[in-house]
Structure 1
Amino acid sequence: MKKLSIVLLLAGLLQLPQTLAATANIGVIAYAEKPLKLIRATTLYTVGAGTRLQGGDILQTGAAGIQIEGLASATLALGPDTRILIATNRTAAQINLLDGWLKLQPVPGSNHTNLAVTTGTLAFTVTQSASVIHVTPRQTEVFVEDGNQVVKELGAHGKGDHSVNLGHEDFAQRSAGGALTIVARPEQAFIDALPRQFLDPLVPLGKKTPAATEPKKERDVTYDDIEPWVISPLNLSQQMLANRFAPRLNDPTFRQAVKINRGGVLEWELELLRLERRKNAH
């Protein structure tokens, strides 16, 4: 019964809208080795420790590792070369992990069913387990450091009804198009590549977190900035993406890139049509 409840909860979480209408803060970058990139709305920023996060934020760590606190009562760490999109609604949050390293460690004694993670091929709600997830173009790997974790296998369109229960120190892999396989211990290649800060339990910084800082604007996003998300295996809503980045269609270079790369995709064609109508109205 418990497993069924988790699966049903996950099914609801995966339908989350990908942005938050209000600009409420949902967590904070408590630690950052180096400045990193953030895409908020249609703007690219440079940010660091102390930055308050919002629904719809896209984080790109580059060479830096970071720690996030206050997101659905969990502590998260991102390794180098990692990209996530944080989706939210009024009661839940979802981490869309495009590539790289993610470590999740729930705050003891709290209810974590309002936080979900998806990699495109796997999805789960955060329970009392501490887990490490690694995503590459070739495969997704999950290591349950502590506790138990129910993981759901997703099909080509982001849906699936097959779930697997991973136990303490289980290591699972899933290649594109393949089934999830479980082995007793992580492969040596996984251990060798594991970010150094993932080797120990995450220690929340709490009051040691730096004061809030304003993101430093670099520029408006280009199509190259958002293309990895537009064509990703995460099954993100094209309607959401087209609507979010429609203001950038006023830029001729961005508009031409969309016509070349998204021409024929209904949601983007509609935004292009709306732009033409607005121009003709003047």
Structure 2
Amino acid sequence: MRASELFGARTVKRIRNVLATVWLLLTLGATHAAPAAQPPALVSILDGEAALLRDSGRFGAAEGVRLAAGDLLETGPQTRLLRLEFTDGVIVDLGPSTRAFVAPRLGTRGQAVAAHVYVLRGWFKLIQPAGGAPVPAGVLTPAYALGEPAGQQVAAVDADGGFQLFCEAGAVALQDRAARPVPPPVRLKAGEFFARRGSGKAAVAPRPTPAFIQSVPRSFLDPLPTRAALFKGREVAPRRLGDLAYADAAPWLAAEPVLRSHFATRWRALARRPDFRAGLVEHMREHPEWDRVVFPEKYRPKPPAQAPAAPPRPAGVRTY
């Protein structure tokens, strides 16, 4: 029996129209589907050792590893250079003993702050290749935000809050992230040097100090070619070294408030691990956001107080 005889010619025609529409939608969806988000950066040069903190693991960074937004990098004291090449052409070189957060998206006072990297401490060199399209984002540090970068800038972020930057070429705008009211950005041009020691007053000089020049990583002095094209079409997986330990996470857990809140959410599940929990408890003063995670019972609503029971009436007393 034909389908038209079983359901009727009109019904069959409607079914065919519906199926044709569904097929068309599926075809268009397959043809015009949004491409998968491309990793924002690639490790193109690694001279020395570096660790990659991703999810709940610690990995060994390597040339060709593609980095996702949110990855954390840590270079060793003897590391000479770790180069990150971003998809928009921006290059960030990291020096020894440096901690960096790749492509952070952090909400600050109701606004999303975007950057290529957040450097918690250590050395970095920001390079905007000649002829590249202007990029609004740059580098975040605990004290300053580098915006509107052009040319090359070399900077050192100290653990005590100090910050030094040499505008080697081009120009850059430095925005104080802590001062209130928000001051206008400090704009540096080629050759100028900016420095602030700890919580002291910032100063701009026409040239860097000899001490700064002597301390700049040697690998930052020589021009290096881009190498991202060498890894096109190749996937390099980082080697897992072990679980993320509290000691690995501690510098980020004790960072500025917006970062502490971010990681209290991101690493919340790690509080169930006895070793990680022990570190949290021991250093709770440095990251009080975790108190609610580790000791949720302290924050549960207390049961309503019950009214005291009426005292018993003496024998023989009548009430009306």
| d(CA) in 2 for partners of 1:52, 1:201 | 23
Task: Indicate how the Cα distance of structure 1 residues 264 and 93 shifts in structure 2: closer, same or farther if over 3 A, else same.
Answer: closer
Corresponding residue of 1:82? 98
Query: Which SS does the other structure have where 1:268 is aligned?
Result: helix
Unaligned runs of 5+ in 2: 1-35, 106-111, 300-320
Aligned partner (choices 167, 176, 179) of residue 201 of structure 2: 179
- Relative to structure 1, is the Cα distance of residues 198 and 236 closer, same or farther in structure 2, using a 3 angstrom cutoff? same
Q: Please give the residue correspondences for 1:58-69 in structure 2 after superposition, counting only pairs within 5 Å.
A: 58-62=72-76, 63-64=78-79, 65-69=81-85
- In the alignment, residue 214 of structure 1 is paired with which amino acid? A
How many residues are treated as equivalent by the alignment? 254
Contact 1:28 1:51 in 2 (8 A): yes
SS in 1 for 2:103: strand
Aligned ranges 1:100-249 → 2 under 5 Å = 100-138=122-160, 139-155=162-178, 160-209=182-231, 211-232=234-255, 234-249=256-271
Distance in 2, Cα, partners of 1:271 & 1:112: 42
SS of 2:190's equivalent in the other structure is coil
Q: How does 1:266-281 map to 2 (within 5 A)?
A: 267-273=289-295
- Post-superposition offset of 1:225: 1.1
Runs of 4+ in 1 over 4 A off after TM superposition: 89-92, 263-266, 273-277
- Greater mean deviation of Cα atoms: 178-187 or 64-73: 64-73
The 1:162/1:208 distance shift into structure 2, 3 A limit, reads same
Question: Counterparts of 2:285 and 2:213 in 1: how far apart (Å)?
Answer: 43
Tell me how far apart the structure 1 counterparts of residues 143 and 257 of structure 2 sit (CA, whole Å): 10
2:253–2:287 Cα contact (<8 Å) kept: no
Partner residue in 1 for 2:13:
none
Aligned to 2:69: 55
- In the TM superposition, residue 259 of structure 1 has moved relative to its aligned partner by 2.1
Whole-Å Cα distance in 1 between the matches of residues 251 and 113 of structure 2?
A: 28
> Aligned with 2:173: secondary structure?
strand
The answer to whether the 8 Å contact 1:105/1:202 transfers is no
Q: 1:196–1:27: structure 2 CA closer, same or farther, 3 Å change rule?
A: same
State percent identity of aligned pairs. Answer: 26
Distance across 2 between alignment mates of 1:142 and 1:69? 21
Normalised to the residue count of structure 2, the TM-score between the two structures is 0.71
Q: 1:268 to 1:31 in 2, by over 3 A?
A: same
Q: CA deviation at 1:155?
A: 1.8
Gaps of 5+ in 1: 1-21, 278-282
**Larger relative contact order (C-alpha < 8 A, sep ≥ 6)?**
1
Q: CA RMSD in A?
A: 2.8
Contact 1:26-1:53 at 8 Å conserved across structures: yes
